[in-house]
Amino acid sequence: MGLGCLVKVLTPSSGAGQVPATHVTIAYVVSEQDAGRAINIIKSKIVPRVEEVVFVSRVSEELLNALGIRPGDFARADGYPS
């Protein structure tokens, strides 16, 4: 399987009209070695209102196996459903 990526997603919060605007940050573990492809996986499969998707770090194959993340798939780092 190889290494994966930890990516950070920044989205606007659902609280309309809040000043200053607030954002929600969610981290995802992606079973993809290439950072650019990992970012594209998240952009294509997560909320369309994503403001920013950033590569944070590599993750080990052991972590991917422990979390049961298959190649090309992803999971939220906090354990909540995607």
Give dist(CA 81, CA 37) in Å, integer: 21
Q: 72: alpha, beta or left, given left = phi > 0 and alpha = psi -120 to 50?
A: left
Residue 81 in domain: no
Residue 82 in domain: no
| pLDDT one digit per residue (tens) for the chain, 82 residues | 689 999 999 887 766 555 566 788 999 999 999 999 999 999 998 866 777 899 999 999 999 999 999 999 999 999 898 7
What per-residue confidence (pLDDT) applies to 47?
A: 65
Give dist(CA 60, CA 14) in Å, integer: 33
Total domains, the chain: 1
Residue 39 in domain: yes
Domain that holds residue 13: 4-76
